[in-house]
């Protein structure tokens, strides 16, 4: 059985390495077992309820190597400038002492700049065994750390260079007049119905937009009650299909539900009108799988297959069913086998459990949050919830030119679908399912510590997810062809100078494309990761 890489241990481990390397917040998530919404008789119900500049990525301090000593071991500097390295039994390691001198180490001092107040916890964590080896400015700390790591034994447990980083660059806020009301994209504590939100309770869209605003090569299928050609994305709609009717009439049938979902995913941003979605340049494929507001699991299955066969790789299903059908599950496996990913609303049954298809491990199950990072009572609870996103009082598109607020896990799922679309643009060498672990590992833990049945791994962080995916794909491979070459060099040179939105060539996230980025690209020349 094909499984959702959100719960695939090996893929999660890969993502953990990537986000840890870049300093992104990582929430570990173990694989877990994969109940029902409020639809009746197997029909569907819509899941809608009542900056400082960092140094180059991979850069290290040239003057410092951190050494973790074995318990009881020590390194001291003698009066003559040589070193005395001893193991826990007091035996001298003359070769290590000589290596420290040969590498140009000028001093060895206690590690860190603060002393932990809880000595017992420091011992348990091994924090009390770190020392710092100082090097002259301009040294190759990475090489020194590698050389000392090779001397690991009775005195040294490990050696490492010290990374340099900082706050990842964000793009400016888009100029869409309704953006200030879109707390899900950027929460600054704005008031909704007289209640102030919690600043930062959002998906960190601006952090993602600096690197990607989505690419036209990605087609996002919205499997719903139809999607109206709203002015925010009408020009980027591709032909769709109405499964129950057997024709191409895909206009909305259910109070603007599908259009609202499509707006969150793909409304054009920074165009001076209306609102902003997550992925401004992706194409939307409307696939109607309901008649009115309800429908059959068979029709959802057929819609998934139809969309996959016509190039959609990200599928948003803000739907909930109560009956499990293998036909639908096999259709989801088909989508995944063809490089697609299915994102679904967890459902609005609250404690009744997670709905179909979100309950299955092949699907990314998304719960809802409000503007204060709280889980609304209707958001489905269960061990199958993978992550959470804003879903309460979400502003998005309705009709062909209007806007409105809607509630529900239906509104949360599009934030995840849109984020995956951004990740595809930033890391084009990855298939959509292979991006899901980076989404999982960069979620912000907001409920009980660790994975929980209300928010899964936590609230998604689009900025961190896009950066983690890009780093794993290989810095400098800007066209996703598996190598860093002259084409990528041309992109960097063509993007030279200050940059804001979709600045993929800004390899160190400092808000500009300059010599640092050129150096990173040249340093990674050849085959990508």
DSSP-derived secondary structure for 345-383: E--S-GGG-PPBTTTSTTSEEEEEE-TTSPPPTTS--ST
Average pLDDT over residues 79-99: 93
The answer to the question of residue 86 being in a domain is: yes
Please count the structural domains in the chain: 3
Q: Could you give the CA distance from residue 506 to residue 497 in angstroms, rounded to a whole number?
A: 9
Q: DSSP states of 224-286 as a string?
A: ES-----TTTGGGB---EETTTTBS-----STTHHHHHHHHHHPPPSSSSS---S-TT-EEEE
Residue where a domain stops, chosen among 113, 148, 163:
163
Residue with tokens 């009082």: 393
Segment 161-184 shows an average pLDDT of 81
Under 8 Å CB-to-CB from 120, ≥6 apart: which residues? none
Q: Note whether 109 and 153 are same-domain residues.
A: yes
Q: How many helices (H) and strands (E) does the chain have?
A: 13, 23
Pair of tokens at residue 328: 């639908």
Residue 27 lies in a domain: no
- The answer to the question of residue 2 being in a domain is no
The pLDDT of residue 138 is 86
Identify the three-state secondary structure at position 484: strand
Same domain, 42 and 67: no
- Per residue in 44-67, pLDDT (tens digit) is 567 775 432 333 334 678 889 999
**Locus of tokens 């900082």:** 166
Whether residue 388 sits in one domain with residue 248: yes
What value does the mean pLDDT take over residues 453-463?
A: 97
What is the sign, positive or negative, of the torsion defined by CA atoms of 374, 376, 377, 381? Answer: negative
Is 324 found in the same domain as 399? yes
CA distances from 297 to 38, 103, 233 (A): 14, 67, 28
Please state whether the peptide bond connecting residue 360 to the residue before it is cis, i.e. omega within 30 degrees of 0. Answer: no
Judged against a pLDDT cut of 90, whether residue 176 lies above it is answered with yes
For residue 436, being part of any structural domain is answered with no
Reduced 3-state DSSP string for 116-167: CCCHHHHHHHCHHHEEEEECCCCCCHHHHHHHHHCCCCCCEEEEEEEECCCC
Q: Would residue 174 count as lying in a domain? A: no
Q: How many CB atoms lie within 10 A of CB 107?
A: 13
pTM (2 d.p.): 0.76
CA distance 510 to 517: 10
- pLDDT (tens digit per residue) in 198-235: 999 999 999 999 999 999 999 999 999 999 999 999 99
- Tell me, yes or no, whether 76 lies in a domain: yes
Q: At what angle do helices 432-441 and 462-473 cross, to 10 degrees?
A: 120
Residue 224: active-site member: yes
Phi/psi at 503 (5° precision): -100, 70
Clarify whether residues 236 and 377 are in a common domain. yes
Q: Answer with the residue of higher pLDDT: 13 or 187.
A: 187
Catalytic residue among 8, 210, 230, 257: 257
CATH number of the domain residue 211 falls in: 3.40.50.200
Q: How distant is the alpha carbon of residue 97 from its chain centre?
A: 44
Least confident window among 6-15, 275-284, 335-344:
6-15
Are residues 281 and 241 part of one domain? yes
In what helix (H) or strand (E) does residue 194 lie, and over which residues does it extend? none
> Residues 510-514: contacts with CB within 8 Å, 24+ apart?
510/53, 510/54, 510/169, 511/51, 511/53, 511/169, 511/210
DSSP state of 52: P
- Give the pLDDT score at 121: 87
Q: Do 218 and 293 fall into the same domain? A: yes
Whole-angstrom distance between the N-terminal and C-terminal Cα of the chain? 28
pLDDT in tens, 402-451: 999 999 999 999 999 999 999 999 999 999 999 999 999 999 999 888 89
Domain boundary among 109, 138, 163: 163
* Pick from 142, 283, 140: nearest CA to 215: 283
Does 453 fall in a domain?
no
Task: Quote the tokens at residue 132.
Answer: 């710092």
Catalytic member of 410, 434, 483, 509: 410
Query: What is d(CA 396, CA 402) in angstroms, rounded to the nearest whole number?
Result: 9
Query: Helix (H, G, I), strand (E, B), or coil: what is residue 524?
Result: coil
Residues 211 and 359 in one domain: yes
- One domain, residues 423 and 509: no
| Tens digit of each residue's pLDDT (9 = 90 or more) over 337-360 | 999 999 999 999 999 999 999 999
Which range of residues forms the domain containing residue 338?
Answer: 32-48+198-427
State the DSSP code for 1.
-
SS3 336: helix
Q: How far apart are CA 477 and CA 261, in angstroms?
A: 32
Is residue 34's pLDDT more than 50? no
Structure tokens at 47: 């899941």
Q: Is position 410 annotated as part of the catalytic site?
A: yes
- Phi/psi zone of residue 511: left (φ > 0), alpha (ψ -120 to 50 degrees), beta? left
- Which pairing describes strands 402-406 and 130-134: parallel, antiparallel, or unpaired? unpaired
Q: Is the pLDDT of residue 3 over 90?
A: no
Mean model confidence pLDDT for the chain: 87
Q: 164: pLDDT confidence band, cut at 50, 70 and 90? A: low
Residues 6+ away with beta carbon under 8 Å from 361? 3, 4, 6, 7, 31, 33, 34, 384
Say if CB 208 and CB 462 are below 8 A apart.
Answer: yes
257 is catalytic: yes
Same domain, 216 and 300: yes
Asked if residue 108 is part of any domain, the answer here is yes
pLDDT score for 43 = 42
Do 389 and 490 sit in the same domain of this protein? no
The predicted pLDDT at position 6 comes to: 56
Q: What six digits make up the tokens of 486?
A: 């002259």
Whether the per-residue pLDDT at 42 is higher than 60: the answer is: no
Catalytic residue among 202, 224, 302, 477: 224
Residue 263 reports pLDDT greater than 80: yes
Say yes or no: 255 and 276 in one domain: yes
């Amino acid at each position: 059985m094909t499984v959702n890489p959100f719960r695939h241990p090996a893929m999660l481990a890969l993502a953990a390495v990537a986000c840890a390397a870049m300093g992104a917040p990582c929430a570990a998530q173990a694989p877990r077992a994969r109940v029902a919404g409020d639809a009746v008789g197997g029909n569907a119900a819509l899941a809608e309820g009542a900056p400082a500049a960092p140094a180059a990525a991979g850069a290290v301090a040239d003057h410092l190597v951190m050494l973790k000593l074995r318990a009881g071991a020590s390194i001291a500097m003698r009066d003559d400038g040589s070193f005395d390295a001893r193991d826990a039994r007091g035996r001298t390691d003359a070769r290590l002492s000589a290596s420290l001198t040969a590498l140009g180490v000028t001093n060895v001092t206690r590690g860190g700049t603060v002393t932990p107040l809880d000595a017992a916890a420091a011992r348990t964590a091994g924090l009390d065994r770190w020392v710092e080896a100082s090097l002259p400015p301009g040294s190759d700390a990475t090489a020194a750390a590698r050389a000392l790591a090779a001397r690991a034994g009775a005195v040294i447990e490990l050696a490492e260079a010290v990374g340099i980083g900082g706050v990842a660059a964000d793009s400016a806020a888009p100029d869409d007049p309704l953006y200030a009301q879109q707390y899900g994209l950027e929460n600054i504590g704005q008031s909704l119905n007289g209640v102030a939100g919690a600043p930062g309770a959002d998906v960190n869209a601006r952090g993602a937009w600096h690197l990607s605003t989505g690419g036209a090569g990605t087609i996002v299928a919205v499997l719903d009650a139809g999607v109206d050609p709203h002015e925010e994305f009408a020009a980027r709609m591709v032909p769709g299909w109405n499964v129950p009717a057997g024709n191409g009439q895909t206009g909305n049938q259910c109070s603007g539900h599908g259009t609202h979902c499509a707006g969150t995913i793909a409304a054009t941003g920074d165009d001076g009108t209306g609102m902003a979605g997550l992925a401004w340049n992706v194409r939307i494929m409307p696939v109607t799988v309901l008649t009115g507001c309800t429908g059959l699991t068979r029709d959802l299955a057929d819609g998934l297959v139809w969309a996959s066969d016509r190039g959609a790789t990200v599928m948003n299903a803000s739907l909930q069913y109560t009956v499990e059908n293998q036909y639908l599950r096999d259709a989801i496996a088909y989508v995944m086998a063809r490089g697609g990913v299915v994102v679904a609303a967890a459902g609005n049954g609250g404690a009744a459990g997670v709905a179909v298809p979100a309950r299955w491990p092949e699907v990314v199950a998304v719960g809802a949050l409000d503007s204060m990072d709280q889980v609304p009572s209707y958001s489905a609870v269960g061990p199958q919830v993978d992550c959470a996103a804003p879903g309460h009082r979400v502003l998005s598109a309705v009709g062909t030119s209007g806007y409105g607020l809607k509630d529900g896990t239906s509104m949360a799922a599009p934030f995840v679908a849109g984020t995956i679309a951004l990740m595809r643009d930033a890391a084009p060498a990855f298939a959509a399912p292979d991006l899901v672990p980076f989404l999982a590992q960069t979620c912000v833990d907001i409920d009980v510590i660790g994975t929980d049945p209300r928010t899964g791994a936590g609230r998604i962080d689009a900025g961190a997810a896009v950066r983690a995916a890009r780093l794993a794909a290989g810095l400098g491979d800007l066209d996703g062809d598996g190598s860093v070459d002259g084409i990528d060099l041309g992109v960097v040179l063509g993007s030279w100078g200050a940059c804001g939105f979709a600045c993929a060539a800004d390899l160190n996230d400092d808000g500009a494309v300059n010599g640092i980025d050129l150096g990173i690209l040249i340093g990674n020349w050849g085959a990508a990761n």
